[in-house]
Structure 1
Amino acid sequence: MHGPDPDEKHPLPDFPQVCFIKNSVTNPNIIIGDYTYYDDPEDSEGFERNVLYHYPFIGDKLIIGKFCALARGVKFIMNGANHKTSGLSTYPFFIFGHGWESAAPQPGDLPYKGDTCVGNDVWFGYESLIMPGVKIGNGAIISSRSVVVSDVPPYSIVGGNPAKVIRTRFSDEVIAGLEAIAWWDWPVEKITRNLDAITSGDIARLR
């Protein structure tokens, strides 16, 4: 045996609240890596409902790496949520028509933070909220109900509103080593053989 099938929607047949969400997402601008799961007893296949203001005409992407764990209620706000902020009012008059179309923002008027990118082996706590354009490094932990408004370094633990780094999980040397090893890109057979080392706290066992 070499672990669960990453193409299986529900890897735990008797526990359907866990879904490998690359198999349930249909939006081409949401890209999910192997083994990343969403845990939600209400609708684990419906992860896309948690990606908010994600309009196709804007073209921004949500990219989540491999082996990430997303708890119930994790949400990503995308660039479509932004209003023009350079005017005296932020109200979107133009969307209501009836003569207000002339107030439509011009290209470049709306704030745009780019793609939201999540690394590998990231754990998102219950109801954490990720703002547009944030970059989250490999191995990070996002505490429950955090509001992440800025980039998160690899292997750091963040929490709060706005989320701040609480601590790093390992020394700079170990973090650099883990980034170089990138075990999440290994063939699954090699990952299986090295599970004891991967789940230990001793990076020397991976070398």
Structure 2
Amino acid sequence: MTIAPDRNKLYPNENIKTVCYIKNLPSRSNVEIGDYTYYSDNTNSPENFYDNILHHYDFLGDKLIIGKFCALAEGVTFIMNGANHRMDGLTTYPFNIFAGGWEKVTPTIEQLPFKGDTLIGNDVWLGQHVTIMPGVKIGDGAIVAANSTVVKNVEPYTIVGGNPANVIKKRFSDEMIPLLLELQWWNWDEKRIFDHLEQLVSVNDIATLKKLLNEA
């Protein structure tokens, strides 16, 4: 009996070539992707996912880290730290990149704004054409509405939207969210996930959640 798709295949469902498991694309040293996280693209091949990670340069050292079981819709874009201009002078114009003598004001890495790694938690849903700015942290279970630009951190199990993205609402009560973060269902083995699929997709009550926690 099959209890899970093959997490090591690029296309887990051979009949759907618009959805791929990102982890199984050629790896990059500055990108980390969790199991079962997918990218969906109905316009271009999902194999072009890395084209959506912009201004990401090894010499800066920032990473894009995405957890397990995330759903990334078409056109999701990550702006990394390499996009930043020096901002402590009279102008932000990057004279140095045009050479011709202007390279004498090439900034050091220390002079450029640096927001750190971009971190996407587990079970996060990023809607179509969402843009994530450098150094943003998005918590487990969060949802970002389509066409949003995320410029600041998003708390776990929170829905945000807009440009810039603001909180729309929490997905669950303040009592449930800590329990969900403790449950960490995305770290279960395949058999346990299979046995609890119905609860995972339909249950949102405290009693069942506590029961699941007690099974661990």
TM (normalized to structure 1)? Answer: 0.97
SS at match of 2:59: coil
| Letter of the 1:120 counterpart | N
**How big is the alpha-carbon RMSD for the aligned residues of Structure 1 and Structure 2?**
1.0
Q: Provide the rounded CA distance (Å) in 2 between the counterparts of 1:115 and 1:106.
A: 19
Q: Provide the rounded CA distance (Å) in 2 between the counterparts of 1:163 and 1:25.
A: 31
Corresponding residue of 1:204: 207
Q: Provide the rounded CA distance (Å) in 2 between the counterparts of 1:65 and 1:25.
A: 17
Q: Provide the rounded CA distance (Å) in 1 between the counterparts of 2:188 and 2:205.
A: 18
Q: Provide the rounded CA distance (Å) in 1 between the counterparts of 2:109 and 2:128.
A: 36
| Letter of the 2:119 counterpart | C
Q: Provide the rounded CA distance (Å) in 2 between the counterparts of 1:26 and 1:54.
A: 14
**Does the Cα contact within 8 Å between 1:25 and 1:48 map onto a contact in 2?**
no
Q: Provide the rounded CA distance (Å) in 2 between the counterparts of 1:82 and 1:195.
A: 43
1:128-152 Cα shifts (integer Å, max 9, x gaps)? 0000000000000000000000000
TM (normalized to structure 2)? Answer: 0.93
After TM superposition, the structure 1 = structure 2 runs for residues 156-175 of structure 1, keeping only pairs within 5 Å, are: 156-175=158-177
> How much does 1:26 deviate?
2.4
> How much does 1:2 deviate?
1.8
Q: Provide the rounded CA distance (Å) in 2 between the counterparts of 1:75 and 1:36.
A: 15
1:132-185 Cα shifts (integer Å, max 9, x gaps)? 000000000000000000000000000000000000000111000000010101
Corresponding residue of 1:40: 41
Structure 1, 117-126 or 104-113: larger mean CA deviation: 104-113
Q: Provide the rounded CA distance (Å) in 2 between the counterparts of 1:203 and 1:128.
A: 32
Q: Provide the rounded CA distance (Å) in 1 between the counterparts of 2:144 and 2:65.
A: 16
Corresponding residue of 1:17: 18
**Does the Cα contact within 8 Å between 1:21 and 1:47 map onto a contact in 2?**
yes
> How much does 1:107 deviate?
3.5
| Letter of the 2:3 counterpart | H
After TM superposition, the structure 1 = structure 2 runs for residues 1-207 of structure 1, keeping only pairs within 5 Å, are: 1-41=2-42, 42-200=44-202, 201-205=204-208, 206-207=212-213
SS at match of 1:45: helix
**Does the Cα contact within 8 Å between 2:60 and 2:109 map onto a contact in 1?**
no
| Letter of the 2:96 counterpart | F
**Does the Cα contact within 8 Å between 1:25 and 1:47 map onto a contact in 2?**
no
> How much does 1:100 deviate?
1.2
Aligned residues: 207
SS at match of 1:199: helix
> How much does 1:108 deviate?
1.5
> How much does 1:204 deviate?
3.1
Q: Provide the rounded CA distance (Å) in 2 between the counterparts of 1:67 and 1:25.
A: 19
Q: 5+ residue gaps in structure 2?
A: none
Structure 1, 161-170 or 190-199: larger mean CA deviation: 190-199
Q: Provide the rounded CA distance (Å) in 1 between the counterparts of 2:157 and 2:53.
A: 24
Name the % identity.
55
> How much does 1:203 deviate?
4.7
Q: Provide the rounded CA distance (Å) in 2 between the counterparts of 1:56 and 1:178.
A: 35
Q: Provide the rounded CA distance (Å) in 1 between the counterparts of 2:131 and 2:56.
A: 15
**Does the Cα contact within 8 Å between 1:32 and 1:66 map onto a contact in 2?**
yes
